[in-house]
């Protein structure tokens, strides 16, 4: 049933698995602080399985097999979500601060929402617009992190803004928080949830029940933000 098994690097392992009519890459990731097996479908179509301490690949395979119907439903939900256009041109609508914004040309500038961008008004405008939004995110997001950190008395060593493909944020044990620049495209309550989620990791470096209790304390409306991200994730590419 399973495809060839191979080791990607120390720790995670990967193999392929038939789900319905498709072959799905499955990534097994041991996590010493995880309490149970977890399965999620990443936006890139990889099924990620978290293996708890004292868990095994064999038990993780069984866990995946028991959840094949769930995994197939996740693929169906992904396929039903609206897709971001591959190329951006005049008239294309993208998300900016959580709202649809039409790409327009005004007085020799490309205009997206409140932003005026130096770019040619022909061809694919995506690289130029994304470069501008990345710069904007680097100006805004670190300051917002420090603002929330000060409010909640949490120490942060450094904040970086990156072009992450499948993660909204991360937090290192040394106190570095990394954020996805695409948060500039989300509503404020979603942006703040991701920031507070990473700040919660400064107190709980795991995804235990205690961690989620801390998230709820810092951001009581976090489930609404999670729902928005699931609904719009394919538009944020």
- The confidence score (pLDDT) of residue 83 equals 67
Across the range 39-58, mean pLDDT stands at: 89
Across the range 68-93, mean pLDDT stands at: 83
- The confidence score (pLDDT) of residue 3 equals 37
Across the range 52-78, mean pLDDT stands at: 89
Whether the pLDDT of residue 11 is over 80: the answer is no
Nearest to 130 by CA among 83, 159, 88, 189: 88
Across the range 30-51, mean pLDDT stands at: 88
Across the range 99-103, mean pLDDT stands at: 95
Instruction: Return mean pLDDT, the chain.
Output: 88
Across the range 12-32, mean pLDDT stands at: 84
- How close are the terminal C-alpha atoms of the chain, in Å? 33
Quick check: is 95 in a domain? no
Range of the domain at 217: 132-235
Judge whether 8 and 20 are in contact, CB under 8 Å: no
Whether the pLDDT of residue 5 is over 80: the answer is no
- The confidence score (pLDDT) of residue 62 equals 93
Q: Helices in the chain by DSSP H: which ranges?
A: 57-66, 68-80, 126-152, 188-200, 209-218, 222-232
Q: What is the pLDDT of residues 176-217, one digit of tens each?
A: 999 999 999 999 999 999 999 999 999 999 888 899 999 999
Confidence of residue 22 (pLDDT cuts 50, 70, 90): confident
Quick check: is 175 in a domain? yes
Which is it for strands 104-106 and 99-102: parallel, antiparallel or unpaired?
unpaired
| Residue 11 in tokens | 């720790």
Across the range 39-45, mean pLDDT stands at: 85
Under DSSP, the state recorded for 220 is: T
Per the listing, tokens 């866990």 go with 63
Quick check: is 52 in a domain? yes
Positive/negative CA dihedral, 155, 236, 186, 229: negative
Q: How far apart are CA 97 and CA 211, in angstroms?
A: 27
Q: How far apart are CA 127 and CA 217, in angstroms?
A: 38
Length of the chain counted residue by residue: 237
| Residue 128 in tokens | 């130029």
Q: Give the residue from 43, 61, 80 where a domain finishes.
A: 80
Please indicate, yes or no, whether residues 219 and 159 belong to a single structural domain of this protein. yes
Whether the pLDDT of residue 21 is over 80: the answer is no
Please indicate, yes or no, whether residues 163 and 74 belong to a single structural domain of this protein. no
Domain total for the chain?
2
Judge whether 202 and 154 are in contact, CB under 8 Å: yes
Q: In the chain, pLDDT over 70 holds for what percent of residues?
A: 92
- Which is more confidently placed, 132 or 86? 132
Nearest to 26 by CA among 125, 1, 124: 1
Quick check: is 214 in a domain? yes
């Amino acid at each position: 049933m399973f495809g060839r098994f191979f080791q990607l690097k120390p720790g995670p392992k990967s193999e392929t698995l038939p789900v319905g009519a498709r072959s799905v890459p499955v990534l097994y990731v041991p996590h010493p602080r995880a309490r149970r097996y977890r399965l999620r479908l990443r936006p890139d179509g990889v099924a990620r399985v978290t293996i708890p301490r004292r868990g095994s690949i064999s038990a993780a395979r069984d866990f995946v097999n028991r959840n094949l119907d769930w995994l197939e439903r996740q693929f169906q939900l992904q396929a039903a979500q609206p897709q971001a256009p591959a190329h951006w041109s005049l008239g294309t609508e993208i998300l900016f601060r959580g709202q649809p914004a039409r790409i327009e040309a005004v007085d020799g500038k490309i205009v997206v929402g409140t932003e005026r961008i130096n770019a040619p008004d022909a061809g694919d405008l995506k690289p130029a617009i994304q470069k501008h939004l990345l710069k904007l995110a680097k100006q805004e997001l670190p300051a917002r992190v420090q603002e929330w950190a000060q409010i909640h008395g949490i120490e942060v060593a450094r904040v970086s803004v990156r072009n992450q493909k499948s993660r909204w944020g991360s937090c290192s044990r040394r106190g570095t928080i990394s954020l996805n620049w695409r948060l500039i495209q989300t509503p404020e309550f979603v942006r703040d949830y991701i920031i507070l989620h990473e700040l919660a990791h400064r107190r709980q470096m795991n995804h235990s029940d205690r961690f989620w209790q801390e998230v709820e304390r810092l951001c009581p409306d976090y489930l609404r933000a999670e729902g928005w991200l699931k609904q719009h994730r394919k538009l944020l590419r």
